[in-house]
Structure 1
Amino acid sequence: MRRTALAALIACAAAPVFAADQPLALQCGDLFDARSGKLVGARTVVIRDGKVAEVLAGGTAVPGATAVDLAGHTCSPGWTDLHVHMASQSSPQSYSEGFRLDEVDFAFRSVDYAKKTLMAGFTSVRDLGGEVAPHLRDAINQGLVDGPRIWAAGKSIATTGGHADPTNGVNSVLAHLIGPPGPTEGVINSIDDARQAVRQRYKEGSDVIKITATGGVLSYAKSGDAPQFTVEEVKAIVDTARDYGYGVAAHAHGTEGMKRAVLGGVTSIEHGTYMTDEVMSLMKQKGTWYIPTIYAGRFVAEKAKQDGYFPEVVRPKAARIGALIQQTAEKAYKSGVKIAFGTDMGVGPHGDNAREFVYMVEAGIPAAMALQAATIRAAEVLGVEDQGVIETGKRADIVAVPGNPLQDIGAVLKVDFVMKDGKVHRQP
């Protein structure tokens, strides 16, 4: 990324409502215990130095701490969206913008997207594909920009012509000038390429690896579900990623590609549209997580009805595949597959992430389990133990919504308190 792109991020920093080092006592009307999946009643949550210092009985006065009145609200651990793309947001212009805009343009946009995501209650995200994300992550970590904590994949890894091949749809003259992409650009065709591509992501500062195990909906290519890696290639990626402490997320719509990804040892299957009983059984056997991204499926299915929103090569895929994801989530839940929360936001408008909770409940997933999917379960997917619960010593990532989200999941769309690392970004 050019230095001007980082300067763009710095210029958009916002001032906090409370200083992160100011002791606070959150007077919560109710509290969601992510471990049990239950509401445990009124609690006073004491925040010091960016951590949860104590969890006391509701209404407890805490000398020296500033009280924050959250009566009538349910406090929850900050939410995590495990599948976002912070540098982009789909529109009818998306396919031409890659040729017209510079990375600094996408960097400017990402600042706004990050703020909207945080203000919607998402204190952490896993960005699964985008070269801007590692730089945005660093700017947020340095306090230069307000946004969620980011686990960044950087460039997704694909095969030639696969969902994340950056030259898909490029004419022959431009393709000749660019040359065939290789592992440095995230395109592989062998086991050795696979290892090199992971090591390149490490070199570039990624936190997680993303592969596109099958075709995709929005790529400029005919197939949305054909398998695009061998099991051996997936295994080489997973084994090499493990050397660096990385998990591997696999975009997958088609059954065979999904099966190969699970057999290869990936951490999670993203989307999972044509997931079969055999694949579900393998996932349970291997402990593979499922990230449904119902929001993205519904969004693209709806936009496929609009003339001109998608290129014609994309439109039938969006209509066919997008409409099925919610049904798959229902089947996976009933089968006992491990489910965590992700939206594929960037397909739809950033800041609308919480609507995924509503769609999960519509699919038959209990509200408590949907909230766990975005808190303690998401932390398990990320391999971290210091977030996802409101407990002494954990990160002070807390959101609050009016009412009882277990009775009315629509409450998650009304977030009016957001704290990340003890810093209040939004309050009633």
Structure 2
Amino acid sequence: MKKKILSLLMVAALAVTGLTACGGKDNKSGSDSDVKIAMITDSGDITDMSFNQTTYEAADKFGKDHDIDFKYYKPTENSDEARIASFQNAVADGYNVIVVPGYLFAPMIVNVADTNPDVKIIALDVSEFDITDAAEKANKKDYKMPSNVCCFTYSEELAGYMAGYAVVKEGYTKLGFLGGVAVPAVIRYGYGYIQGANAAAVELKKTADVQINYVYGGAFAGDPAITAVMDTWYKGGTEIVFACGGGIYTSACEAAKAANGKVVGVDTDQSGVIKDSYGVDDLCVTSAMKGLAATVTATLQGVLDGKWDSDYAGKFSNLGLVSGDDPSLNYVQLPTETWQMKNFSVDDYKALVAAMYNGDVKVSNDTENAPTTEIKVEYFDNIK
């Protein structure tokens, strides 16, 4: 029942819009609540149209809806020390529930959680491996997750599979995958994408036709070097690229627009922002999404409802499929409200989700070994 409630919250949370772009925004309130919410950005910022922005918007909206103070902090640089400093600044300012997005926060958590037991930390996309690795590097043997921390990861391989399957069923045969940095979440997206494309090609008996170029940019932002590689791909026949990793989608979009190609968005439904930014209605065909906003909303509600100790304290949770009947309730999905595909319909998508939920379709989450495929996949060295 709890999963159902969390999932229902996801539907509302995924609809969040309305970004306030100025740094360090502070929602002042007259709330009697002792809760004060802060968010710290990772290497990006709250206008990245991806991970940070989605997290920020969800926490900001929650604060406004519940008359609770909210403020975000942007570290002065991309370093553990800067993230720790932002945490300490937030605590000094009185914020006692802090939301952090991404694996980069694992060292910060290991450094500050034990010494700030009254501050709750909600960590998105931070795995048990990330925490253990950070603890080992900090020479903290036998480190145990403190009760004031909860960590969430997602079954990105499922969303990636859906996207790969969908675009091949739609008719695309020359695919690309552009990952940001080869971290587990990005790898799961990519390997899931390959598995889905391969499955669709097998069903269509087009394994000889479907090909995938696969590369990591080495950064979570687009730049001229990455755009140049994408230009080469599109000019060489690539039709659609799954751009996976923060702002790196800009490089894929620039190259795609110039060559009349297409992209697949990531984490959130990026079709709207890509349309607004590049002036092409159908540049983004679909997006492999995960429920970041829903997780933030549900967990913050749990804090207010006094459910931290029972539901979240010291726990690692992996979120994926919770419904085979209603894809919109799942923590990994494709957006249906902005559906642009014609050959692969919403009903086809629902049938795929049902098969995945029931176990008829199995997707590997192995990040160490590339999937075995019948289609051709060409792996390239990191761009940067």
TM-score, scaled relative to structure 1: 0.27
Q: Which has the higher helix share?
A: 2
Query: How high is the TM-score relative to the length of structure 2?
Result: 0.29
